[in-house]
Amino acid sequence: MPANPSTPAVLVCGASGTLGGAVARALHRRGCALGLHRHAHPERLPELPCKAYAADFRDPEQPAALAKAFLSDFGRLDALVWAAGIARDAPAAAQSEADVREVLAVDLSAPFLLAKALARTFLKQKAGSVVFLSSHAALSGRAGGAAYAMAQAGLLSLMKSLAREWGPLGVRVNAVVPPFVRESEMGRAASEAFVEAVARRNVLKLEADPAAEAGRFIADLLENRTACGQVFTLDGRIAI
């Protein structure tokens, strides 16, 4: 449990990724007590004073186990940031059922199961904030990435449903569509044609660190007391 009861306790899922790590660093600068989740690659977690957790979200038992471990260590939860996810891109006609199931398990079922495991804590407190990081694919679809796009669209619907259920009890639930991050694992896996299309469709040509900008925005959003059920798009591409 944090030494200071007034210190916000925050669980960041997917903190070994570029976006999750940027969120963790922004929250650390705000003085939050952090629990950082990763699946593999412990060396990729930000070097911050925190409690680290490993969980493989392909296993439906592990979201609840993660929630239990965090609450045992911290005693409460003030905010949850979901920044985990995988993609298994292929044309729809060639996509294997196994890949579709894996993407849905990690990108959609796992955040639902984690939220379910934390529901009693949030609703008993009648306070807290949840932010799901989604994707531009949820808004516009993705050729060659139907499984990922439909999982991300489902994540936005999950957010809105939780906001309707939990908002009246004081728990704020929102989603953020981050900008494309070339340095992320998914960004590095993207084709040159995809990267060029992102740049072409972006109406904003200013230079900025997209991960750091997203981290700062999410840190602000967790402190915001009025937003609930909203999708915030931090991207210069205009969804059609």
Identified catalytic residue from 53, 57, 148, 166: 148
Catalytic residue status for 53: no
Q: How far is CA 75 from CA 3, 170, 225, in A?
A: 11, 19, 23
Question: Quick check: 17 and 182 in contact, CB under 8 A?
Answer: no
Measuring CA to CA, which residue among 187, 179, 217, 229 is closest to residue 23?
217
β-pairing, 79-82 vs 171-177, is: unpaired
Cβ neighbours of residue 154 closer than 8 Å, sequence gap 6 or more? 104, 108
Tell me how far apart the alpha carbons of residues 160 and 64 are, in angstroms, rounded to a whole number: 21
Tell me how far apart the alpha carbons of residues 148 and 154 are, in angstroms, rounded to a whole number: 10
Q: Which residues are catalytic?
A: 148
